[in-house]
Amino acid sequence: MNQQPTTHRLSAGATDFIASADLQGLLSQTRPDPVRVREILAKSLTKQPLSAMETAILIQADDPESIAGLFSTANRLKREVYGNRIVLFAPLYIGNQCVNNCAYCGFKATNSQAIRRTLSASEIEQQVISLENQGHKRLILVFGEHPDYSPELIAQTVRHIYDVRSGLGEIRRVNINAAPLDSEGYKIVKSSGIGTYQVFQETYHRPTYQTMHPAGTPKGDYLYRLDGLSRAFEAGCDDMGIGALFGLYDWRYEVLALVTHSLFLQDRYGVGPHTISFPRLCPASGVDLKTRYSVDDRDFMRLIAILRLAVPYTGLILTARENAAIRREAMKYGVSQIDAGSRIEIGGYTETSAMQVMEREQFSLGDIRPLDTVIRELLQDGYVPSFCTACYRLGRTGKQFMEFAIPGFIGSYCTPNALTTLAEYLADYASPETRAAGMQRLQVELDAMPDTPRKAAVSERLRRILECGDHDLYV
């Protein structure tokens, strides 16, 4: 890890673009006029991103009529932009060594209860084989922040994972959640073929940030972290994920700041974030953090709906930190990606039982149901679980990914690819019950397609997968 002072490694023109006083000002206005709220909801249906001021109005609108309008509009926009697909992935924790002392995290350096471990190459292979045997195709690798976890090590791990094959299984997209890097670091990691690189700001409220992340630790440098995605863009990584950890400070402020961050990246680099994450604080080993900002379920749904409307083309990720019921509800309002079958103890895919072991994980999960169970529930709820990785493999990222907005993109690419990856799962891994539910869904989706050459092509690809055992057919 580069030990230079971080100020020497910022992006060109790095700045604290979160104008805190302005955001607080926007949030301190009186309750908005319901007519204005309706206008903003109508604008969001045109799929234009909302401004910070418009987002602030939605955040403040808490009368029952506006909230009902918010939920129904988010539900509609989600269906119009993303259809009924839900993308599935799994987290893979590589190592929990950490030099930081984040007040909320079980991996913090001062937590003597944490069992520290970094997976060896052969242990990584065992984890990946287990994930492939479940049917996973997309992973996110998670690292603590430590000199051992250099960009070279991250890149080597990614390459190794792409090479692991178990039967018909393979990992086709590896995303990363790790400390922000300098430009050189991003270039090294990008060269290994990563998907999205996620860096969560945790809180955009500087005084809270400073309390949660002690000075003298790498993460204690607020600006270095805030600038992390700008450096990535400058290094040629255009597929980035942002996030905030909800429960550290007022959710209203954090939502507005996430939208501001997104608008900033869009303005400066012509591309917004690929994904936004909004984890809520979970219990963790060695952590006894009390804040007055915990977000209740109702406000959690509101914030998801607001993000959906404010940044219509950014994927929203909801992880297994939340329980099954919350995840099911949140999918209605904008979530487009979830993890499933997740275990976050280091080595957890091969070494744990039905119980979670707090000392071996960063925090405890709310949903550890097997992948097959989650897929079955999604199918029964009318969703199409998708393992699609086509866009990134064909270079449809960054500015091109924004072409997602072009009419017909979903019909031409996303739906066909979702159906073929679902068919692969059904053929190779599904239980009989899930297979039956999935076959029914494939038929419903095919029946809903207009009779065009595209429908014939999708139908033929499904037949090849289900009857001939063909694989990895995508457009």
CB neighbours of 42 closer than 8 A, spacing ≥ 6?
none
What's the 3-state SS for 178-243? CCCCCHHHHHHHHCCCCCCEECCCECCCHHHHHHHCCCCCHHHCHHHHHCHHHHHHHCCCCCEEEE
Tell me whether residue 96 or residue 434 sits nearer to ligand SAM (CB atom).
Answer: 96
The footprint of ligand SF4 (CB under 6 A) covers: 98, 100, 102, 105, 107-108, 144-145, 219
Residue 226 as a binder of ligand SAM (CB under 6 A): the answer is no
108 binds, among ligand SAM, ligand SF4, none (CB under 5 to 8 A by kind): ligand SF4
Q: Which of 327, 382, 324 is nearest to 84 (CA)?
A: 382
**From CA 290, how far away is CA 412, in angstroms rounded?**
49
User: Which of 139-147, 391-399, 407-415, 447-455 is the region at the interface with ligand SAM (rule: CB under 6 A)?
Assistant: 139-147
**From CA 17, how far away is CA 242, in angstroms rounded?**
15
CB neighbours of 135 closer than 8 A, spacing ≥ 6?
169, 371, 372, 387, 425, 428, 429, 430
Tell me whether residue 245 or residue 311 sits nearer to ligand SAM (CB atom).
Answer: 245
**From CA 77, how far away is CA 99, in angstroms rounded?**
42
The terminus-to-terminus CA distance of the chain in angstroms comes to: 39
Residue 212 as a binder of ligand SAM (CB under 6 A): the answer is no
At closest approach, how far in Å is the CB of 365 from ligand SAM? 10
* Token pair recorded at residue 94: 């590589």
User: Which of 174-182, 266-274, 308-316, 323-331 is the region at the interface with ligand SAM (rule: CB under 6 A)?
Assistant: 174-182
Tell me whether residue 143 or residue 204 sits nearer to ligand SAM (CB atom).
Answer: 143
Residue 94 as a binder of ligand SAM (CB under 6 A): the answer is no
At closest approach, how far in Å is the CB of 98 from ligand SF4? 3
At closest approach, how far in Å is the CB of 113 from ligand SAM? 14
| Residues linked to residue 176 through DSSP beta bridges, in sequence order | 141, 197
**From CA 267, how far away is CA 428, in angstroms rounded?**
44
Residue 426 as a binder of ligand SAM (CB under 6 A): the answer is no
Tell me whether residue 111 or residue 196 sits nearer to ligand SF4 (CB atom).
Answer: 111
Show the CA angle centred on residue 368, arms to residues 418 and 334, nearest 5°.
Answer: 45
At closest approach, how far in Å is the CB of 361 from ligand SF4? 11
Residue 139 as a binder of ligand SAM (CB under 6 A): the answer is no
**From CA 398, how far away is CA 54, in angstroms rounded?**
25
Tell me whether residue 206 or residue 454 sits nearer to ligand SF4 (CB atom).
Answer: 206
At closest approach, how far in Å is the CB of 421 from ligand SAM? 26
**From CA 98, how far away is CA 116, in angstroms rounded?**
9
Q: How many residues sit close enough to ligand SAM to count as binding (CB under 6 A)?
A: 20
178 binds, among ligand SAM, ligand SF4, none (CB under 5 to 8 A by kind): ligand SAM
At closest approach, how far in Å is the CB of 365 from ligand SF4? 15
In the block, residue with structure tokens 């809270």 = 208
At closest approach, how far in Å is the CB of 26 from ligand SAM? 25
Q: Which of 151, 169, 185, 279 binds ligand SAM (CB under 6 A)?
A: 279
At closest approach, how far in Å is the CB of 108 from ligand SAM? 9
Tell me whether residue 66 or residue 275 sits nearer to ligand SAM (CB atom).
Answer: 275
Q: Which of residues 176-195 bind ligand SAM (CB under 6 A)?
A: 177-179
Residue 417 as a binder of ligand SAM (CB under 6 A): the answer is no
Q: Which of residues 324-383 bind ligand SAM (CB under 6 A)?
A: 362-363
Tell me whether residue 320 or residue 375 sits nearer to ligand SAM (CB atom).
Answer: 320
The DSSP letter of residue 399 is H
- Give yes or no for a contact between 280 and 300, defined as CB atoms under 8 angstroms apart: yes
Q: Which of 334, 262, 245 is nearest to 51 (CA)?
A: 262
User: How many CB atoms are located within 10 Å of the residue 42 CB?
Assistant: 11
* Token pair recorded at residue 306: 């607001």
Q: Which of 168, 232, 225 is nearest to 196 (CA)?
A: 232
282 binds, among ligand SF4, ligand SAM, none (CB under 5 to 8 A by kind): ligand SAM
Exposed/middle/buried for residue 199 (C-beta within 10 Å: 0-12, 13-18, 19+): buried
In the block, residue with structure tokens 């990535």 = 232
Residue 118 as a binder of ligand SAM (CB under 6 A): the answer is no
Residue 220 as a binder of ligand SAM (CB under 6 A): the answer is no
At closest approach, how far in Å is the CB of 342 from ligand SAM? 13
User: How many CB atoms are located within 10 Å of the residue 5 CB?
Assistant: 9
**From CA 366, how far away is CA 369, in angstroms rounded?**
9
Residues interacting with ligand SAM, by CB under 6 A? 104-105, 142-145, 177-179, 199-200, 202, 245, 279, 281-282, 284, 321, 362-363
